[in-house]
């Protein structure tokens, strides 16, 4: 076999499914478009939700991709052998096309055939849904694995907690799955050790989800119009598995970053005392680079995606200090990641300057907060009437100044005092609970928000975009869009504040277009045709060869996945609520329409 590299795996995977009639589609952005209910693309299925629900995909019914994903739910697990916040998900998709038989057969062939990955079948285990009141025991998958030659003692029936996937939010496509595990050959942790156990003996490498249900707001499951397949195989895990590596961090994907950290810190990444910090830094710098390098710009801030990015960067800086690195090194580390990944993700090279400058700014700022934190610490110590720093104070140092508890404890020890760790933990857990609740709020409504209000505002956004180009010039380009049922938010490139007159003109023009009762038409065409016809939108890295183009009368033509209203007479009373700066060179408009 050729040398095992990450590119080898990505290419083999795409090639295999291309041979099986799939169209290769590029990764969608890490920041979901027009979806205010989730902060990041957490699974390969996110960008495909409308198509899983039945909308026609311009590239057909069999698709394959390598999707960039970000999962902050796993942030506390980072440092173990298998979890990452950013990950690349290899996925093949049937949109109402093939189902369990082909999906299982192809997974088996790809993993075990000498022509493909050539994994020893004896090291592979499988889990299958055991059934419940709504969905029957999955004997089709079970029998299919047997038919392929898998022995019974390699297949486990498990309940919904293990063998069900989705929806990604509260509502949307979901279904039973069959999961594929690799035996690391570690000894069993107990008599009952199985793929359901998280002792690390069995590592999940692939998940084949049979999405045939739609979960509704009331929690009920209804059959979807079409039966879909959504499979997901994390590149990092598969790669380390195939190499029998100790962890995902011991692969080429992180090697250059880890080597650089060893050189800068003069410490060894396998030293138990430092291992977790090394892994956290290697994971977080990669995530930060991909978020900053995304086609939809995000910068560190105190809200939404920007807040997650900030937390990740600051956490990484704390861990840099844990391994003894105190100077600014993030730009240097970022360049290593960019060089490692730019062959597959050219957008990183294009945005290198931006990535480096944002990391540099955030690192400098946080290094200042740490200094303030030390001042606060000294002040608190002077105030003490006994020799224990209260939990709330330690938590404030952590929460406000980003002060790791280890720092606080160490500094306290130097002064011969201690920290109330129990009290700290209590505050920390209370805070976590609050943020967890906050984060859950973000997912309210699920992914499938194709509500009438959102759809109306989506079409209005296209009209607004064209009006801005007419009033301000064709340099105006969409930078971001975020729509809830209440309002639209549109970010666009423009170098200055809009005047009151310009705002009025745009608002009037939008209302005029709306009241012209224009039909909204969707056509499928190649990217070249779309360009020729003067459609605007993101041409690169979008849906691949064939795209959907939505036209609003003769007024606007835009590449877009939909959905949209049928006629502009479904919209009324457009009103701009606010025009403000979003970031350098980018303006933001918030606007509403009548319900
Ligand atoms: N949606 C499933 C997952 O993310 C399979 O792609 O695991």
Q: How many CB atoms lie within 10 A of CB 266?
A: 9
pTM above threshold 0.85: no
Distance from the alpha carbon of residue 93 to the mean position of ligand 1, in angstroms: 11
Q: Which residue's CA is minimally distant from atom 2 of ligand 1? A: 232
Q: Is 230 in the pocket of ligand 1 (CB under 6 A)?
A: yes
pLDDT score of 113: 97
Tell me how far apart the alpha carbons of residues 110 and 165 are, in angstroms, rounded to a whole number: 22
Q: Whose Cα sits closest to atom 5 in ligand 1? A: 232
Q: What is the pLDDT of residues 326-378, one digit of tens each?
A: 899 999 999 999 999 999 999 999 999 999 999 999 999 888 777 788 789 99
- How far, in Å, is the centroid of ligand 1 from the Cα of 187? 28
Q: Which residues contact 6 (CB under 8 A, 6 or more apart)?
A: 235, 239, 251, 252, 253, 344
Give yes or no for residue 133 having a pLDDT over 90: yes
Mutation to probe ligand 1, out of 48, 52, 91 (largest number of atoms < 8 A from CB): 91
Q: pLDDT by residue (tens digit) across 427-483?
A: 988 887 766 555 444 433 333 456 778 888 999 999 999 999 999 988 788 877 888
The per-residue pLDDT for 3 is 83
What is the average pLDDT score of the chain?
89
Each residue's pLDDT tens digit, 347-360: 999 999 999 999 99
Q: Is the pLDDT of residue 542 over 50?
A: no
Task: Give distance in angstroms: CA of 175 to centre of ligand 1.
Answer: 11
Mapped onto helix, strand or coil, the DSSP state of residue 21 is coil
Choice from 17, 88, 232 to test ligand 1 binding pocket (greatest atom count within 8 A of CB): 232
- Over residues 57-64, mean pLDDT: 96
511 or 481: which leads in pLDDT: 511
Pick 522 or 539 by higher pLDDT.
522
Name the closest-CA residue to atom 7, ligand 1.
Answer: 232
Q: Could you tell which of 52, 230, 236, 447 is best to mutate to test the pocket of ligand 1, judged by most ligand atoms within 8 Å of the CB?
A: 230
Per-residue model confidence as pLDDT tens digits over 366-415: 887 777 887 899 999 999 999 999 999 999 988 888 776 766 887 798 79
Q: Give the ligand 1 atom nearest the CA of 208.
A: 5
Q: At what angle are helices 352-383 and 391-401 packed, to 10 degrees? A: 160
Is 209 touching ligand 1 by the criterion CB < 6 Å? yes
Ligand 1 atom at minimum distance from 42 CA: 4
Give the pLDDT mean for 508-527. Answer: 90
Tell me, in angstroms, the distance from the centre of ligand 1 to residue 29's CA.
Answer: 17
What pLDDT does 444 receive? Answer: 35
Three-state SS annotation for 293-342: CCCCCCCCCCCHHHHHHHHHHHHHHHHHHHCCCCCCCHHHHHHHHHHHHC
pLDDT value of position 450: 64
């Amino acid at each position: 076999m050729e040398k095992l590299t990450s590119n080898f795996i990505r290419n083999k995977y795409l090639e295999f499914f291309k041979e099986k009639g799939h169209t290769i589609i590029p990764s969608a952005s890490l920041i979901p478009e027009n979806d205010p209910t989730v902060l990041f693309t957490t699974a390969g299925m996110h960008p495909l939700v409308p198509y899983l629900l039945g909308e026609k995909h311009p590239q057909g019914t069999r698709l394959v991709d390598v999707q960039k994903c970000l999962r902050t739910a796993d942030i506390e697990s980072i440092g173990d052998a298998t979890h990452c916040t950013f990950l690349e998900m290899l996925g093949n998709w049937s949109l109402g096309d093939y189902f369990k038989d082909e999906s299982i057969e192809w997974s088996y062939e790809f993993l075990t055939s000498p022509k493909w990955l050539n994994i020893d079948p004896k090291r592979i285990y499988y889990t299958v849904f055991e059934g419940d009141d709504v969905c029957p025991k999955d004997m089709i998958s079970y029998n299919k694995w047997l038919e392929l030659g898998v022995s019974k003692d390699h297949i486990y029936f498990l309940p919904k907690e293990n063998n069900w996937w989705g929806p990604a939010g509260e509502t949307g496509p979901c279904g039973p799955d069959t999961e594929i595990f690799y035996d690391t050959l570690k000894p069993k942790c107990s008599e009952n050790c199985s793929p359901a156990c998280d002792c690390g003996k069995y590592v999940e490498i692939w998940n084949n989800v049979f999405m045939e249900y739609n979960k509704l707001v009331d929690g009920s499951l209804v059959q979807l119009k079409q039966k879909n397949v959504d499979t997901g195989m994390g590149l990092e895990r598969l790669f380390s598995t195939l190499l029998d590596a100790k962890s995902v961090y011991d692969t080429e994907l992180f090697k250059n970053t880890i080597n650089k950290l060893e050189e800068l810190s003069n410490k060894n990444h396998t030293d138990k005392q430092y291992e977790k910090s090394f892994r956290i830094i290697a994971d977080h710098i990669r995530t930060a680079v991909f978020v900053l390098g995304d086609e939809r710009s995000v910068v560190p801030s105190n809200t939404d995606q920007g807040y997650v990015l900030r937390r990740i960067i600051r956490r990484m800086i704390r861990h840099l200090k844990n391994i003894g690195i105190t100077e600014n090194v993030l730009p240097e580390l970022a360049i290593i990641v960019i060089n490692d990944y730019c062959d597959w993700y050219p957008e990183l090279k294009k945005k290198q300057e931006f990535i480096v400058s944002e990391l540099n700014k955030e690192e400098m700022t946080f290094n200042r907060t740490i200094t303030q934190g030390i001042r606060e610490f000294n002040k608190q110590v002077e105030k003490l009437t006994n020799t224990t720093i209260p939990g709330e104070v330690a938590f404030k140092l952590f929460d406000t100044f980003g002060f790791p508890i280890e720092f606080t404890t160490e500094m306290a020890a130097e002064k011969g005092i201690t920290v109330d760790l129990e009290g700290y933990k209590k505050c920390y857990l209370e805070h976590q609970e609050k943020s967890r609740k906050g984060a859950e709020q973000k997912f309210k409504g699920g992914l499938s928000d194709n509500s009438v209000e959102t759809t109306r505002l989506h079409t209005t956004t296209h009209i607004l975009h064209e009006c801005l180009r007419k009033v301000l010039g064709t340099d105006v380009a969409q930078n971001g869009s975020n729509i809830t049922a209440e309002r639209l938010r549109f970010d666009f490139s423009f170098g200055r504040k809009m005047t009151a007159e310009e705002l009025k003109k745009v608002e009037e023009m939008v209302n005029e277009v709306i009241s012209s009762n224009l039909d909204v038409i969707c056509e499928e065409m190649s990217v070249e045709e779309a360009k020729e016809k003067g459609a605007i939108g993101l041409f690169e890295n979008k849906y691949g060869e064939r795209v959907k183009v939505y036209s609003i009368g003769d007024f606007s033509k835009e590449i877009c996945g939909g959905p949209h209203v049928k006629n502009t007479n479904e919209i009324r009373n457009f009103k701009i609520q606010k025009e403000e700066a979003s970031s350098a060179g980018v303006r933001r408009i918030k606007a509403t329409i009548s319900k």
